[in-house]
Amino acid sequence: MKWTKSLIQTLREDPGDAEIDSHKLMVRAGLMKKLAGGLYTYLPLGMRALNKVQRRVREEMDRAGALEIVMPILQPAELWKTSGRWESMGPGMFRVKDRAQHDYAMSPTAEETVTEVVKGIVSSYRQLPVTVYQIQWKFRDEIRPRFGLMRSKEFLMKDAYSFDTSLEAADASYMAMFDAYRRVFARCGLKAYPVEADTGDIGGKFSHEFHVLADAGEDGIAFCDGCGYAANLEKAERRVAARDDAPCGEMETVPTPGAKTIDEVSKFMGVPGSAFVKSLVYVADGRPVMVCVPGDRDVNEVKLRHFLDAKKVELADYDTVLAATGANAGSVGPVGPADATLRIVADQELRGARGCITGANRDDHHIRNVDLDRDTAIKAGDYADLVVVRDGDICAKCGKPLVIKRGIEVGHVFKLGTKYTDAFRAVYKNDSLEEKTMVMGCYGIGVSRTVQAVIEQSHDRDGIVWPASVAPYQVCICLLDPDRAEVAGVADELESALESAGVDVIVDDRSERPGVKFKDADLIGFPVRVVVGAKGLEKGGVEVKLRREDKSKTRVVPPADAVAAITELLAGC
């Protein structure tokens, strides 16, 4: 490919709306062009990278025995109503009507559709297990699209779905995908870590997210160096030491006028936030419940939902808080709420807490010297792990400190159970001809997001540093004297020799200064740069350099040996 025919547009300036390096670089290197908020055109270079990631995904899905299909993007509302997700997906799902006023979803995912499809084909245990996958555009109505392909309205995703005869059998399908994911990301040159994630209603350890570590990542992940434990912050657990608080005096109510937050009250009273019990009123499936956590901690709503065995938990509104406690949200506490039957649950760290400060259930008042056992109705069984872990918390598995890092989620494997197959009555006949419900798993890879994650993980101040496996072109030949036929001839010969060796190569044949060509080659990040110029050839060679090495590592190679030298270098990146 010749640069002058390639529609490459590079930019010197960062786009104004880009907050993270990978987004800036994708636009500046001419991989993609913004059409509107959250919508991008993949330009020829970006398309090549996207296609290469797709190829890696496809090869590993096929190797794992998954079968490729493609399902419609437009999915009838009836399917989504059957699962109950027409409502629960909320405004994040794009919906359209056809001319007959029939509703459709623009697929954000495809559990419903695939279940409908498979149930129409599979009738016997002999056809199971089966895993199907598609690489298809997905849609999400992001409130605030940002970070380029990380939070876009339209994105390319690989979604796979496994169907098995039983929960136990589904483990094998899950592990096959888990292993395939490890290989996909490794082959894309990514360091992606499997991280335990919340399993929703299924339970067990059958949900993992694959994360690429990056400071720009939106997700927090707790890691333990001691035992290798890794979990996202929704899921991550901690161990707490038993407390040995000294007995405290009688409770004392103190006025705290105008102080609403723990920060404000702690400043007002001159004591640290950790001395407080932070109390919040939630509504769990319609019933109010008070949640108490250490004053310097945040409630983990996912853990809370599981502990309460609730479908939905949300912060209570003004009236509910007032009716339950007798006060506004800033002054509530576990001591004598207005509703004496109000259930109060507390984080495990508060078990045996004495001498703490709580809201008084009276506006603008707090109570000191609270002994939770003595002064509240919290039951022994209502202490549980209910907070978000943070740096330095103790690993629940081994007792070493946890470290919190940032990650970009590029994949998710999930054992679904029978949520959808129950709703769609997707059954098979077992060997006794009894009808049984199929057990599902679902597995996603953000294909377009993976392209950007590669860049986020692999770039420097000059631009992208592509791994050879997904680079738009593996080699850029910088032709310094395009008007001199003998020099251009060397470049042409090298180009065809490399192509014959299966290497993707682009020749920068523009009439630009060498500095411009080198800058663009570094910005786009071709793994290998070859400089072909009259001066070099007079000295007997072409210059070969790896993108990830500095100039001092440049090799001068006779043109006849260049293909061998380049393919050897590419094998290492």
Interface with Zn ion by CB under 5 A: which residues?
224, 226-227, 229, 395, 397-398, 400
Q: Is 49 exposed, middle or buried (0-12, 13-18, 19+ CB in 10 A)?
A: buried
Residue 549 token pair: 């090495």
Q: How far is 148 from 26, CA to CA, in rounded Å?
A: 8
Find all residues with CB under 8 Å of 375, minimum gap 6, and list them. Answer: 251, 335
Minimum CB distance to Zn ion, residue 302 (Å): 21
Instruction: Give the nearer residue to Zn ion in terms of CB position, either 260 or 397.
Output: 397
For residue 529, give Cα distances in angstroms to 14, 190, 479, 519, 544. Answer: 24, 22, 11, 11, 6
DSSP 362: S
Instruction: Give the nearer residue to Zn ion in terms of CB position, either 237 or 371.
Output: 237
8 A C-beta contact, residue 211 and residue 192: yes
Minimum CB distance to Zn ion, residue 228 (Å): 7
Minimum CB distance to Zn ion, residue 209 (Å): 18
Peptide bond into 129 cis (omega under 30): yes
Minimum CB distance to Zn ion, residue 401 (Å): 9
Instruction: Give the nearer residue to Zn ion in terms of CB position, either 150 or 389.
Output: 389
Minimum CB distance to Zn ion, residue 312 (Å): 32
Residue 130 token pair: 């089966």
For residue 323, give Cα distances in angstroms to 132, 148, 286. Answer: 52, 45, 14
Residue with tokens 């949300």: 314
Q: Select from 232, 357, 361 the least CA-distant residue to 300.
A: 232
- Phi/psi for 229 (5° steps) reads -60, 135
Minimum CB distance to Zn ion, residue 225 (Å): 8
Q: How far is 16 from 243, CA to CA, in rounded Å?
A: 52
Instruction: Give the nearer residue to Zn ion in terms of CB position, either 293 or 402.
Output: 402
Q: How far is 509 from 2, CA to CA, in rounded Å?
A: 6
| Amino acid, res. 255 | P
Instruction: Give the nearer residue to Zn ion in terms of CB position, either 204 or 401.
Output: 401
Minimum CB distance to Zn ion, residue 399 (Å): 7
Instruction: Give the nearer residue to Zn ion in terms of CB position, either 44 or 226.
Output: 226
3-state SS class at 445: strand
Find all residues with CB under 8 Å of 195, minimum gap 6, and list them. Answer: 208, 209, 210, 211, 221, 230, 231, 232, 407
CB atoms inside a 10 Å sphere around CB 242: 8
Strands 154-164 and 383-384: unpaired
Q: How far is 289 from 460, CA to CA, in rounded Å?
A: 50
Q: Select from 444, 473, 524, 462 the least CA-distant residue to 159.
A: 444
Instruction: Give the nearer residue to Zn ion in terms of CB position, either 81 or 397.
Output: 397
CB atoms inside a 10 Å sphere around CB 71: 18
Instruction: Give the nearer residue to Zn ion in terms of CB position, either 150 or 395.
Output: 395
Q: Select from 235, 139, 133 the least CA-distant residue to 181.
A: 133
Minimum CB distance to Zn ion, residue 205 (Å): 15
Q: Select from 356, 335, 363 the least CA-distant residue to 258.
A: 363
Instruction: Give the nearer residue to Zn ion in terms of CB position, either 200 or 226.
Output: 226
Helix residue ranges, H only, 348-431: 372-375, 419-423
Instruction: Give the nearer residue to Zn ion in terms of CB position, either 47 or 404.
Output: 404
Find all residues with CB under 8 Å of 538, minimum gap 6, and list them. Answer: none
Minimum CB distance to Zn ion, residue 396 (Å): 8
Instruction: Give the nearer residue to Zn ion in terms of CB position, either 95 or 397.
Output: 397
Instruction: Give the nearer residue to Zn ion in terms of CB position, either 255 or 401.
Output: 401
Minimum CB distance to Zn ion, residue 299 (Å): 24
Minimum CB distance to Zn ion, residue 395 (Å): 3
Minimum CB distance to Zn ion, residue 229 (Å): 4
Minimum CB distance to Zn ion, residue 392 (Å): 13
- Phi/psi for 445 (5° steps) reads -130, 125
Q: How far is 49 from 27, CA to CA, in rounded Å?
A: 14
Instruction: Give the nearer residue to Zn ion in terms of CB position, either 133 or 229.
Output: 229
| Amino acid, res. 436 | K
Instruction: Give the nearer residue to Zn ion in terms of CB position, either 241 or 485.
Output: 241
DSSP 527: S
Minimum CB distance to Zn ion, residue 493 (Å): 57
